[in-house]
Chains A and B, each alone.
Chain A
Amino acid sequence: MHIDIITTFVICFMIIFGIGIVASRVTRNLSDYMLGGRRLGGAIAAMGVGASDMSGWLLLGLPGAFYAHGINQIFMPIGLVLGAYLNWQFVAARLRVYTEQVKDALTIPAYLDNRFHDGSGTLRIVTALVVMSFFTIYAAAGFVGGAILFQSTFGLSYHTALFIGAVALVSYTCIGGFLAVSWVDFFQGTLMFIALIVVPSVAIWHVGSWQQTMTILAGISSKYTDALTDFDWVTVIGLLAWGLGYFGQPHILVRFMATKSKAEIPKARFICMLWMIVALYGAMFTGLVGVAYFRNSPLANPEEDFLQFAHVLFNPWVTGILLAAVLSAIMSTIAAQLLASASAVTEDFYRRFLRPHKASARELLMVSRIAVFIIACVAFAFAYNPKNNVLKLVSYGWGGLGASFGPVILFSLYWPRINKAGAVAGIVLGAVTAITWWALHGLGGIFHLYLLVPGFIVSCLSIVVVSLLTMPPSAAIRREFNEVNDILQH
């Protein structure tokens, strides 16, 4: 291992860690802590959405998917781009206004609680349980990403690398705060963007030329040049359906809530979508060029593609920066996910049901840290099996959240007839369908379809059926809905 790589890697890591600590010191209150005081300008909000959404998955999982399965994976970026666009277009501004209108809700569980005037706490409990379960799996993907990074950088065994990576990631989450996440995301988003332009371009130049790369790919297999090789509808619909997941990701939706005003949304949408499209092209070509470049010694783990390029193509100082970009990408997302899960335990369960009005700030902080530790241990257990790669774990976490919350968020923003019972049914049945589908995946056939599709459909149907069969929402809830409509029209 080159000492220059380690030095640069450690320096970059310390800078990112430092930004986190400095930014967490300037937070003044809970709103600052959760949403940056709803002060984020278009560019920061845009990069926050992009970076927290994509994380290590963009640098490890997606190039690995193209490397392993070929160009037919193009349907996934297409689905994601369409989903992200629709999310910005139909959810962002409306959610920004609605969350402020319903007692200034700072989180998605709080929004749902306030939106449906739920005094019983049922929605909070259900939301907290679902957030915790799927974010734990999602966080496991971050641990696997950290393990692959430490394994490839320091030449450690998978399990040792997993342990060291997990300790680094959990320490960052507990010491630094999340509060900085938007600023760290901006820095990290820029780094990822540059890396995803530079790495495939330099790799193509090393292979010889674009034409030479294509010739090599065509010689290896037609699956790298023809998106319809091994075509089947179940796979294509499943890949396109990734885009549906956007409507239900709490860590992305909170960025919409944090924007300065709804007027910032078009600018943020423009920056975020351009960032995302260029980054997805970069990840796609990193995977494909990897097949040509490493043709004589194929990678044992396709998800190492980007990391191997960082090692073989660049000066050790640049390699250190690229590796730090990967770690920071994993770090900020995992911190947001672990803390969202911990806040579900602390705020939505412990403070609300176990110690209402009694828990001190110090006690809550301790409970929160214990929760981070326990959730991290469960995520570690999922990550321990090397067969659970980044893409597989992300697909489960992403699909589960999208199926549980996506329909509820959309209906709560656009359908005045939705009520609390419908929302609870939508979340529970969406989550149960996603988990059941995942468990039945081994049966093949229709069960190969991505779990997000059946989960989303069942959730939508249950919201409509249960809402129509139960009492309509109160006049106060309808009034709030109409007020939001009025604000958006002006």
Chain B
Amino acid sequence: MASFTALTWFLILVPMPLVAMVVAWEFLGQVCSRQRSSLDKKK
């Protein structure tokens, strides 16, 4: 069954999605900290 080599799959599937996950994680972190601070203010 023809396919990319293992290393090619690794290069396609790892570095760029890894960066995507990092930015998504940071963004979620910012959203959560904003919500927490707005909840703290309400208290």
A and B together in one complex: yes
Residues of A within 8 A of B (CB): 71, 74-75, 77-78, 81-82, 85, 88, 211, 214-215, 217-219, 225-228, 266-267, 269-270, 273-274, 277, 280-281
Q: Bound state CA distance, A86 and B19, in angstroms?
A: 10
Decide if A225 touches B8 in the complex (CB within 8 Å): yes
- The yes or no answer to B38 lying at the interface (CB within 8 A) is no
Of all chain A residues, the one with the shortest Cβ separation from B34 is A263
Q: Beyond the given A226-B5, A277-B20, please list 18 additional residue pairs across the A-B interface where CB-CB is below 8 A.
A: A74-B11, A75-B11, A78-B15, A82-B15, A211-B2, A214-B2, A214-B3, A214-B4, A218-B2, A219-B2, A225-B2, A225-B4, A225-B8, A226-B4, A226-B8, A228-B8, A266-B27, A269-B26
Given contacts A269-B23, A269-B27, A270-B24, contact A277 B17 (CB under 8 A): yes
The 8 Å CB contact of A267, one of B8, B19, B20, B27, is B27
Q: Bound state CA distance, A211 and B1, in angstroms?
A: 8
Which of A74, A88, A219, A270 lies at the interface centre, i.e. has the most chain B CB atoms within 10 A of its CB? A270
Decide if A273 touches B8 in the complex (CB within 8 Å): no
Of all chain B residues, the one with the shortest Cβ separation from A274 is B20
A residues less than 8 Å from B4 (CB atoms): 71, 214, 225-227
Given contacts A225-B2, A228-B7, contact A82 B26 (CB under 8 A): no
A residues less than 8 Å from B16 (CB atoms): 77-78, 81, 277, 280-281
- The yes or no answer to B22 lying at the interface (CB within 8 A) is yes
Of all chain B residues, the one with the shortest Cβ separation from A273 is B23
Query: Nearest-CB distance from B29 to chain A (Å)?
Result: 8
The 8 Å CB contact of A266, one of B5, B19, B20, B30, is B30
Query: Nearest-CB distance from B43 to chain A (Å)?
Result: 22
Query: Nearest-CB distance from A90 to chain B (Å)?
Result: 13
Given contacts A74-B8, A267-B27, contact A277 B2 (CB under 8 A): no
Residues of B within 8 A of A (CB): 1-5, 7-8, 11-12, 15-17, 19-20, 22-24, 26-27, 30
Decide if B26 touches A270 in the complex (CB within 8 Å): yes
Q: Bound state CA distance, A185 and B2, in angstroms?
A: 39
A residues less than 8 Å from B15 (CB atoms): 78, 81-82
The 8 Å CB contact of B19, one of A75, A218, A277, is A277
Q: Bound state CA distance, A85 and B25, in angstroms?
A: 13
Decide if A270 touches B23 in the complex (CB within 8 Å): yes
B residues less than 8 Å from A77 (CB atoms): 16
Q: Bound state CA distance, A225 and B4, in angstroms?
A: 4
The 8 Å CB contact of A274, one of B1, B5, B11, B23, is B23
Q: Can you report 19 A-B residue pairs in the complex whose CB atoms are below 8 A from each other?
A: A74-B11, A75-B11, A77-B16, A85-B23, A214-B4, A218-B2, A225-B3, A225-B5, A227-B5, A227-B7, A227-B8, A266-B30, A267-B27, A269-B26, A270-B26, A270-B27, A274-B20, A277-B16, A280-B16
Q: Bound state CA distance, A82 and B14, in angstroms?
A: 12
The 7 closest A-B pairs by CB, nearest first: A218-B2, A270-B27, A215-B2, A227-B8, A266-B30, A214-B2, A273-B23
Query: Nearest-CB distance from B13 to chain A (Å)?
Result: 10
Given contacts A269-B26, A270-B24, contact A227 B11 (CB under 8 A): yes
Of all chain A residues, the one with the shortest Cβ separation from B6 is A226
Of all chain A residues, the one with the shortest Cβ separation from B1 is A211
A residues less than 8 Å from B19 (CB atoms): 81-82, 85, 273, 277
Q: Bound state CA distance, A51 and B32, in angstroms?
A: 29
Query: Nearest-CB distance from B33 to chain A (Å)?
Result: 10
The 8 Å CB contact of B2, one of A74, A217, A269, A280, is A217
Decide if A266 touches B26 in the complex (CB within 8 Å): yes
Query: Nearest-CB distance from A260 to chain B (Å)?
Result: 15
Of all chain B residues, the one with the shortest Cβ separation from A227 is B8
Q: Bound state CA distance, A77 and B17, in angstroms?
A: 12
Query: Nearest-CB distance from A412 to chain B (Å)?
Result: 25
Decide if B8 touches A71 in the complex (CB within 8 Å): yes
B residues less than 8 Å from A78 (CB atoms): 11, 15-16
Of all chain B residues, the one with the shortest Cβ separation from A270 is B27
Query: Nearest-CB distance from B14 to chain A (Å)?
Result: 9
B residues less than 8 Å from A219 (CB atoms): 2
Q: Bound state CA distance, A274 and B5, in angstroms?
A: 26
A residues less than 8 Å from B8 (CB atoms): 71, 74, 225-228
Query: Nearest-CB distance from B26 to chain A (Å)?
Result: 6
A residues less than 8 Å from B27 (CB atoms): 266-267, 269-270
Query: Nearest-CB distance from A453 to chain B (Å)?
Result: 19
Of all chain A residues, the one with the shortest Cβ separation from B17 is A277
The 8 Å CB contact of B20, one of A88, A217, A225, A273, is A273
Q: Bound state CA distance, A280 and B16, in angstroms?
A: 10
